[in-house]
Amino acid sequence: MGSEDLFKKRKARKLKDQQRRIGFCKSYDRVLIVCEGEQTEPLYFEGFKHEYDLSSANVVVTDASKGSDPVSIIKHAEKLYKESQKENNAFDRVFCVFDKDQHGNYDTAVRMLSKASSKFTAITSVPCFEYWFLLHFEYTTKSFPSASAVISELKKHIPAYSKNNMRIFDTLKSRLQTAVQNAEKANESAKKAGTDNPSTKVVDLVNYLLNLKK
């Protein structure tokens, strides 16, 4: 077999593989969610996917792999997005999930995403992701000095809370609509007060995913 024929066969096989991967996707957006944490956020969104039967081919949840600071998360998301383009299976939306907490490059990351493609969205929480969990149980707009302060408050409702809780979504799912209402109200209050502590845009991603298949 000539080298030209071998090249054509390889090219055809590669295209067939790409088409097969694309075929696994459902008829709704393909979404990438890149999380700051290796446990808390991915476990929550994987639980969400399972509950609402979202295809793993359509909704990909991952951590930042190398580096958990906001800028590293964005760079990793950009890398994965470019890879998806090369495979002719590009993500329709990319969400970068990160906290403000004590990160020195938080503001830089927010500015980066404000200038990025409209496909990219910052899903920020101030001071941390657990504020979203707390809103499942209570509405509060008091300023938190640190992530540990939020977690201490959360443990009043979930005494055994830990970041590696495999069933965190199951624990919270019955209160999801309460959290959505509380988060939207809290974010509006923060905006009027000219502050971001506390606030969470996780509600924006949750609302998007709830409507993904519609």
pLDDT per residue over 39-67, tens digit each? 999 999 999 999 999 999 999 999 987 77
State residue 21's pLDDT score.
47
pLDDT above 80 for 19: no
Confidence of residue 5 (pLDDT cuts 50, 70, 90): low
Q: Please tell me the distance from the alpha carbon of residue 144 to that of residue 128, in angstroms, as a whole number.
A: 10
Q: Which helix (H) or strand (E) holds 123?
A: strand 120-126
Confidence of residue 145 (pLDDT cuts 50, 70, 90): very high
Total of domains in the chain: 1
State residue 25's pLDDT score.
85
Per the model's pLDDT, the better-predicted residue between 102 and 2 turns out to be 102
- Give mean pLDDT, residues 171-179: 98
Average pLDDT, the chain: 90
Confidence of residue 214 (pLDDT cuts 50, 70, 90): confident
Q: Please tell me the distance from the alpha carbon of residue 155 to that of residue 169, in angstroms, as a whole number.
A: 16
Sign of CA dihedral 72, 37, 31, 57: positive
Q: Give the residues across from 98 on adjacent strands.
A: 124
Q: Please tell me the distance from the alpha carbon of residue 130 to that of residue 23, in angstroms, as a whole number.
A: 36
Confidence of residue 10 (pLDDT cuts 50, 70, 90): low
Q: At what angle do helices 106-115 and 70-86 cross, to 10 degrees?
A: 30
Domain that holds residue 46: 3-210
- pTM of the complete model: 0.88
Q: At what angle do helices 202-210 and 176-193 cross, to 10 degrees?
A: 140
pLDDT above 60 for 86: yes
Per the model's pLDDT, the better-predicted residue between 21 and 52 turns out to be 52
